[in-house]
Amino acid sequence: MRAMVSVLSIIIVVLLVWSLIYDAGVEGVPNPVHFFKQAYAKARVEVEELIAKIKSKLMDDEVSEQKTASTDDSQKEEIESQNVENNISSDPPKAVVVLGSDLDQTTAAESNEELDKTASVLQPEFIIDNFRWPNDQWPSICGALQGAEIMVYAGHGLGTDGTATKNRGLANGLCVDGSYFEEATGPYSRLRYSGVSQEQIISSVRFEPGGLAILHGACYACGPWSNELIIDYGTAYRRVNDYSYTFLSVGADYLALNISGLDELMGALEKNPDKPIGKALEEFCSTHDIELTKARHSDYPNSSLWLGLSRYYNEYVIAFAGDPNITYNSLLH
């Protein structure tokens, strides 16, 4: 405190002496009042400039931080978006394998064997969801089919006599543990089966776009039902057109076989993943002496409808509806 008083005293003495000298008119001695005013004005300008620089720097830093935060948020959103896309694209493709209800013991064993062989072809690339009778409850199957690339079904076919409309009753569906119904027409009209209808499938299932629904050994799926007398092309076409409508409506192409060799066909596609399924079908039919007739689907005119007539059995044993240019690789992606 004493030191501060001493300093102030010295300053006061200096100012007094300065004023006396200035008043005495000594040349070269500035007016102390003007001097301090100028010094104050200069200092004030320098201080204001310094404050302005500090404010400008603070504003620049704030803008930079906002840009950085915005960039970080944008990068974070982009990374999260990429992660979502990667998760979607990295999900392994799925195949749903179903053995339907009400098969006799021999047919069930043969169908299981066919499904096992086909599943072994698909296994390396596809996750396999199995629903084998008696574990073929429709709610579980329906859930698994959402976003599936392939369905392989072996069991009874629920079709019509070829003259009924595509939405009649529970026709053109799957014989699994669903709801019971009585077949509307045909020699089995007194028998009751468990199944889900075309309408139920269309209203509740969505395949991965470009998927494939395969029906093996199902009556009506290729045209004829079991032990039926030879049918003409027109009847076979109507039945396949109506049955395939079910699956074309939910995003899947349609393949049906009533002979063994599904694993052979799928194996040919798996070994040549860029080969169009239409080309593989042509080669399969040529190998098995099957005459292939090509047409268009009446409800989906951009889709092909092919029927294969076995020259040995003289009956339709294979059918395809959809895009013959799909490949095994397209099913994987």
Q: Do 289 and 205 belong to one domain? A: yes
Q: SS3 of 254, please?
A: strand
Q: How far apart are CA 136 and CA 48, in angstroms?
A: 84
Q: Do 100 and 183 belong to one domain? A: yes
Q: Do 203 and 309 belong to one domain? A: yes
Predicted confidence (pLDDT) per residue in 43-77, tens digit: 665 666 677 677 777 776 665 666 555 555 555 45
Q: Do 114 and 8 belong to one domain? A: no
Task: Please give the pLDDT value at position 165.
Answer: 46
CB–CB of 171/242 below 8 Å?
yes
- Confidence at 134, pLDDT banded by 50, 70, 90: confident
Q: List strand residue ranges (DSSP E) for 155-210, in order.
A: 157-158, 173-182, 192-196
Q: Do 105 and 16 belong to one domain? A: no
DSSP 26: -
Q: Do 112 and 142 belong to one domain? A: yes
Task: Please give the pLDDT value at position 65.
Answer: 64
Task: Please give the pLDDT value at position 286.
Answer: 97
Q: Do 18 and 119 belong to one domain? A: no
CB–CB of 274/283 below 8 Å?
no
- Confidence at 39, pLDDT banded by 50, 70, 90: low
Backbone angles phi, psi at 225, to 5 degrees: -100, 170
Q: List strand residue ranges (DSSP E) for 24-149, in order.
A: 94-99, 127-132
Look at residue 152 and tell me whether its pLDDT is greater than 90. yes
Last residue of a domain, one of 27, 61, 87: 87
Q: Looking at residues 277-281, what average pLDDT do you find? A: 97
Q: How far apart are CA 205 and CA 76, in angstroms?
A: 35
Q: Do 177 and 28 belong to one domain? A: no
Provide the percentage of residues in the chain whose pLDDT is more than 90: 51
Q: Angle at which helices 262-271 and 277-287 pack, to 10 degrees?
A: 130
Q: Where are the alpha helices (DSSP H) in 91-168?
A: 105-122, 138-145
Predicted confidence (pLDDT) per residue in 78-129, tens digit: 544 444 344 334 478 999 999 998 788 888 899 999 999 999 999 989 999 9
Q: Do 65 and 154 belong to one domain? A: no
Average pLDDT over the chain, rounded to an integer = 81
Last residue of a domain, one of 87, 112, 141: 87
Q: Do 51 and 164 belong to one domain? A: no
Last residue of a domain, one of 71, 87, 103: 87
- Confidence at 177, pLDDT banded by 50, 70, 90: confident
Q: Do 54 and 34 belong to one domain? A: yes
Q: Looking at residues 311-316, what average pLDDT do you find? A: 93
Q: Do 49 and 114 belong to one domain? A: no
Task: Please give the pLDDT value at position 195.
Answer: 82
- Confidence at 10, pLDDT banded by 50, 70, 90: confident
Q: How many domains does the chain have?
A: 2
What is the domain range of residue 35? 2-87
